[in-house]
Amino acid sequence: MSADYSSDEMMTVAAARQLRDGTACFVGIGLPSTAANLARVTHAPNLVLIYESGCLGAKPDRLPLSIGDGVLADTADAVVSVPEVFNYWLQPGRIDVGFLGAAQLDRYGNINTTVIGGDYTDPKVRLPGAGGAPEIAASCGEVVVIVRQSLRTFIDRVDFVTSVGYGAGPGYRARLGLRGGGPKTVITDLGVLTADPVTCELTLTRLHPGVTVDQVRAATGWPLAVADEVSTGEPPSTDELTVLRALEATKKAGV
């Protein structure tokens, strides 16, 4: 064990551990891509990484900067067109896990990556927008969200619903006809939140080492539901940290 790690590293390692070997995972760029590649190099060698650029089963030996770096196409089982990746692979529910980031998130796991503040046509901050996320959130077997937790990101009501989670609560996804299971897990730099099977509310179930429930509450913009028993996760192992840092170094090197 190493006590010398950052909260971002803990978050990425916790997210990687969430991915089971042999499943297919639709990977967004940034933190999701880092965590998914860490999982593939450590405990989940048969994790199938799907990138929206059309790379199915990519096995990069270095972290891509974008979702379409050459290393993804070079190492993929198949490279398909963009209409195909969405229509034939994502839409029918062939992908087990969708792995997303968020700029804002509410208690039902609804995600905003579009605009913050003001109104839609005159926002305070214009964000990149939807990308593949709305359909990933709708159609994957389940969704894992990885996001740093703060009052800025964990807010009572998202300014814009870019990707729907459990909407307004129980029954919402079924009423809309959404086939995927929704955001079951949210992994942050403080701990892990799990959607309650009855209320659909994100509930604190696990803390990262050294983090308190009060700290998580203070970084949440709504009265946070906390599980009766909150566990404490394992810190990153030496192996996990070594692999993660080596991966990060490949991204910085820009090779």
Active-site positions? Answer: 52
Q: Does 114 bind other proteins (CB under 8 A)?
A: yes
* Minimum gap (Å) between residue 153 Cβ and other proteins: 16
Q: Does 176 bind other proteins (CB under 8 A)?
A: yes
Q: Is 192 helix (H, G, I), strand (E, B) or coil?
A: strand
With tokens 């940034």, the residue in question is: 30
Q: Does 222 bind other proteins (CB under 8 A)?
A: no
Q: Does 132 bind other proteins (CB under 8 A)?
A: yes
> Of the candidates 6, 46, 88, 129, which one interacts with other proteins according to CB under 8 A?
129
Strand locations in 21-108 (E): 24-27, 48-51, 55-56, 78-79, 97-100, 104-105
Q: Does 135 bind other proteins (CB under 8 A)?
A: yes
Give the integer Cα–Cα distance in Å for 176 and 178: 6
Give the integer Cα–Cα distance in Å for 191 and 48: 26
Beta-bridged to residue 126, according to DSSP, are 115
Tell which residue, 194, 198, 252, has the closest CA to residue 226: 194
Looking at this protein, which amino acid is placed at residue 22? G
Answer yes or no: are the C-beta atoms of 225 and 204 closer than 8 Å: yes
Q: Does 177 bind other proteins (CB under 8 A)?
A: yes
For other proteins, the closer CB: 20 or 251: 251
> Of the candidates 68, 170, 181, 209, which one interacts with other proteins according to CB under 8 A?
68
Residues binding other proteins (CB under 8 A): 29-30, 52-55, 64-70, 72-73, 79, 81-83, 86-87, 90-91, 114, 120, 122-135, 138-139, 160-164, 167, 172-173, 176-179, 251, 254
